[in-house]
Structure 1
Amino acid sequence: MIEQISFPTQSIQLENRAQSTENSGKSSFSDMLKKSLEAVNEAQLNSDRLTNALAAGQNVELHDVMIAAQKASILLEATVEFRNKVIEAYQEVMRMQI
């Protein structure tokens, strides 16, 4: 289960390595980023669907709802940390003297 919770770029990186010989570096990074954000969005939507189903009294197990919520939370936190590191790296590059 932990492998499924990890940030989705691990599996996407394996796919992009094969494609990187065919595509330029820009498109493979943008594809990886887009797929990662789509995976985070899908996890959030799945969590919302399960939470709403539980609140409506449908036949949904509580542990499934909690797992989906934690997965969505961890993916979102990892995405925010990734964004922060990218911004920090950009700022560091901009501070460099030529």
Structure 2
Amino acid sequence: MPVATARTQHIRSALLRWYGQHGRDLPWRRTRDPYRILVSEVMLQQTQVDRVKPYYRAWLARWPTVRALARASRADVIRAWSGLGYNRRAVNIHRAA
């Protein structure tokens, strides 16, 4: 891997400083759990962040693990997804579980 130049280090520092001051506090940024990250990524496809946040929290309260989601009925999953649009995403994340 190439050594970062002084310019790239300056840019990196500036970006991190900006993010520290202006970055949004989003719930999926505070986890390393692959399931939670997957849920956020799928929900955020074609959907605005502010619309996703309450659905993300409700989803994880209802199905906190892949195993819990796998045990859910497809109908329940689609109902919980209702309002996010593109219900095919709900079906696919359920199938992935």
Normalised by the length of structure 1, the TM-score is: 0.24
| TM-score of the aligned structures, taking structure 2 as reference length | 0.24
